[in-house]
Amino acid sequence: MSVQTPQGRAYRQTGEVPDPPASATARALFSVLAGVAVWIGGWAEVAPRSFYLSFPGFGRNWIAPLGPYNEHLVRDLGGLNLGLAAAAVVAAVALTRSAAICAAAAWLVYSVPHLVFHAFHTEPFTGIDNAATLASLVAPVVASLAATVLVWHASRRL
């Protein structure tokens, strides 16, 4: 069964969310998460040594100072990021509570321990690199939680 939103859009009564501003913001957040994960995952999969030596780019290097190169681990990181991208794409397209919660849970299970590790292993980096690393690791935690809260509240209006 379809229902019309005030904007004239039809949606099914199965939890599909119309596109009010909160949903558009959630879609954008999940899309950014997906885009960054595709960039990281694709780079790690296609050129693992380059990724190891020069991630995040821009003349910085955040991986090599932490240990020796291991192609298997770099490619595993690439696959993990591509999997996270897939979860974020599903959440961005579906915009349902279950898809948002699933994507956020996947991001949090990966991102929180990663953030904690870097918070306690700052010695090989400069202050600028530490701040940038920690900010880049806090961002997916905040973005995935914020997008999920937005989807949750948008779907309550149905």
Can you tell me the distance from the alpha carbon of 142 to that of 131, in angstroms, rounded to the nearest whole number? 16
Q: What is the value of pTM for the model shown?
A: 0.84
Closest CA to 91 of 78, 104, 110, 74: 104
Query: 17: part of which helix (H) or strand (E)?
Result: none
Tell whether the model's pLDDT for residue 148 goes beyond 60. yes
Determine if the peptide bond prior to 20 is cis (ω within 30°): no
Strands (E), the chain: 2-4, 10-12, 56-57, 60-61
Write out pLDDT tens, residues 49-105.
Answer: 999 999 999 999 999 999 999 999 999 999 999 999 999 999 999 999 999 999 999
